[in-house]
Amino acid sequence: MKQQAAFSSIGHWQSIQRVHNRYVKEVNDTLKQWELSRSQFDMLYTLYQQRSATQKSLEATLELSSGSISQTLKKLMQNRLLMRKRIDREKRIILTPTGETLVKESAPVIEVIDERYFKAFTPQDHQTFNQLLNKMQSNHF
């Protein structure tokens, strides 16, 4: 027998979408004071955590196309927040001191926003939430 959802699936999707749009808008508005977009911030933050990365590994971590990665990279390099460096014969990308200062200044502010949304979540809730959303993406209709 086909299972029937007790609530509207459109409503369910809309609810997820609304919270996502609201969060993105809030983060983008907040990042304006550092003249950053969310995708630029995510890249800087990733490089801060990983210390260095290759263009390929950034693609994997940030789950973005090579096109949008190279565009973001270009912009951040123009603004002298990132630079390329050869480490062990590999061309890697690292933060400049200015980039590092910017992450140290902005990341705690973004973390406060991130945490505010999830403040009612237990660690178990986080795990369940991630599992369910990941499961939803295993579809290929």
Residue ranges in 19-58 that form contacts with other proteins under rule CB under 8 A: 19-26, 29-30, 48-49
Whole-number minimum distance, CB 50 to other proteins, in Å? 9
- The distance of closest approach from Cβ of residue 109 to other proteins in the complex, given in angstroms and rounded to an integer, is 10
Which residues are CB-neighbours of 95 under 8 A, at least 6 positions away? 44, 47, 48, 81, 82, 103
Question: What span, in angstroms and rounded, lies between the C-alpha atoms of 92 and 74?
Answer: 14
Member of 43, 60, 96, 118 binding other proteins (CB under 8 A): 118
Question: Is the Cβ of residue 98 or residue 111 nearer to other proteins in the bound state?
Answer: 111
Give the torsion sign (CA, 85, 86, 87, 93): positive
Residues 52-91 that bind other proteins (CB under 8 A): 63
Binding flag, residue 1, other proteins (CB under 8 A): no
Give 85 or 104: the residue with its C-beta nearer to other proteins: 104
Site size toward other proteins, by CB under 8 A: 55
If phi over 0 gives left and psi between -120 and 50 gives alpha, with beta otherwise, what is residue 35?
Answer: left
Nearer to other proteins, 73 or 107 (CB): 107
- In angstroms, the Cα distances linking 42 to 47, 59, 124, 131, 134 are 9, 12, 25, 22, 20
**Burial tier of 45 (Cβ tally within 10 Å: 0-12, 13-18, 19+):** middle
Q: List residues binding other proteins (CB under 8 A).
A: 3, 5-10, 12-13, 15-26, 29-30, 48-49, 63, 103-104, 107-108, 110-111, 114-121, 123, 125-126, 128-130, 132-139, 141
